[in-house]
C-alpha cells in the first residue's frame, strides 16, 4: 500500500523528506530554471544598458531596442517568481488530500511550464535577432557583449528546462489516481472525523435503568415464570 500514489505523490499526511524532494527530476529542473532566470535578469539589468562617449542617456545593447531589454528583464524576474511558487507547491503537494485538487495542480503545472517554454523561445529569437543586427558603430568597444551572449544562451537553455517540467507534469498526469487507495472524493480522514456526528453504541430502544420501563422489566424477570424465586428480606 505504501507504493500506491496519486499523481506522483503518496497518501496525504506523510513526513516531508528534503533529500528525496531535492532528488526528484522536477525539483532539479525547477532549480535550474530558477538559476537561469537569475542569470538572464542579472546580465541584462547590470550590463544591458550602456552609453557612448557622445551621449549621456543609456540605451539597450540589443540594437538600441529598449523593448528587447525590457522583455529580458521582465521575463527573468517573472520566471524567478514562478519557479519559487512551483517549488512551494511541490513541497505542499503531498499534503493535498483531495485527488481533484491534485489533478488541478498537475494540469496547472503542465500549462504554465509549456507557456514559459514558448515565451523563452520567443525571447531567445527576439534577443538573438536584435543582437545580430546591432551596429558596430553604436558600441565600438563591444561593452556588455559577454552579458548579452549569456542572456541569449540561457534563454535558449530555458526553453528545454521548462519544456522538461511540462513533460514531467504530463507524466504525472498520466499516472492518475490509484483507485485502490484514492477515490475522486477522497478527503483527509482526520478532517472527516472531526465533522462526523456522534452515534450511540446501542439502539434507541434501550432505556436507562432509572426509567419506568426498566422497573417493569425487573418485575418481569424475577417472577416465578422465569425460574427465579423472589428473595424476601
Task: Say if residues 44 and 131 touch (Cβ distance below 8 Å).
Answer: no
Quote the distance between the C-alpha of residue 101 and its chain's center.
11
Beta bridge partners of residue 59, listed in sequence order: 50
**Kind plus residue range of the DSSP H or E element containing 150:** helix 145-175
pLDDT, tens digit only, all 233 positions of the chain: 444 456 655 555 566 678 888 889 999 999 999 999 999 999 999 988 887 667 677 888 898 889 999 999 999 999 999 999 999 998 888 887 777 888 888 999 999 999 999 999 999 999 999 999 888 777 766 778 889 999 999 999 999 999 999 999 998 888 775 543 454 444 555 555 554 555 544 444 444 444 444 444 444 444 544 455 555 55
Burial of 205 from C-beta contacts in 10 A (0-12 / 13-18 / 19+): exposed
Residue 42: all three cell numbers together: 542579472
Q: Is the dihedral of CA 109, 110, 111, 114 positive or negative?
A: positive
Per-domain residue ranges of the chain: 18-184
Supply the DSSP symbol for 50: E
Amino acid at each position: 500500500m505504501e507504493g500506491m500514489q496519486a499523481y506522483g505523490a503518496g497518501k496525504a499526511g506523510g513526513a516531508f523528506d528534503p533529500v528525496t524532494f531535492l532528488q526528484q527530476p522536477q525539483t532539479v529542473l525547477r532549480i535550474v530554471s530558477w538559476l537561469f532566470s537569475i542569470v538572464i535578469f542579472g546580465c541584462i539589468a547590470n550590463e544591458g544598458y550602456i552609453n557612448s562617449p557622445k551621449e549621456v542617456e543609456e540605451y539597450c545593447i540589443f540594437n538600441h531596442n529598449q523593448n528587447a531589454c525590457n522583455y529580458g528583464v521582465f521575463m527573468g524576474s517573472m520566471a524567478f517568481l514562478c519557479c519559487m511558487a512551483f517549488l512551494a507547491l511541490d513541497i505542499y503537494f503531498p499534503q493535498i488530500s483531495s485527488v481533484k485538487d491534485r489533478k488541478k495542480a498537475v494540469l496547472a503545472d503542465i500549462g504554465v511550464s509549456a507557456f514559459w517554454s514558448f515565451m523563452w523561445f520567443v525571447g531567445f529569437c527576439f534577443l538573438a535577432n536584435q543582437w545580430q543586427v546591432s551596429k558596430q558603430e553604436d558600441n565600438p568597444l563591444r561593452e556588455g557583449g559577454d552579458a548579452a551572449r549569456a542572456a541569449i544562451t540561457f534563454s535558449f537553455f530555458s526553453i528545454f528546462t521548462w519544456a522538461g517540467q511540462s513533460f514531467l507534469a504530463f507524466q504525472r498526469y498520466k499516472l492518475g489516481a490509484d483507485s485502490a487507495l484514492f477515490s475522486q472524493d477522497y478527503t483527509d480522514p482526520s478532517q472527516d472525523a472531526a465533522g462526523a456526528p456522534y452515534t450511540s453504541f446501542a439502539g434507541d430502544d434501550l432505556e436507562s435503568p432509572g426509567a419506568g420501563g426498566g422497573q417493569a422489566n425487573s418485575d418481569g424477570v424475577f417472577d416465578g415464570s422465569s425460574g427465579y424465586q423472589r428473595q424476601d428480606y
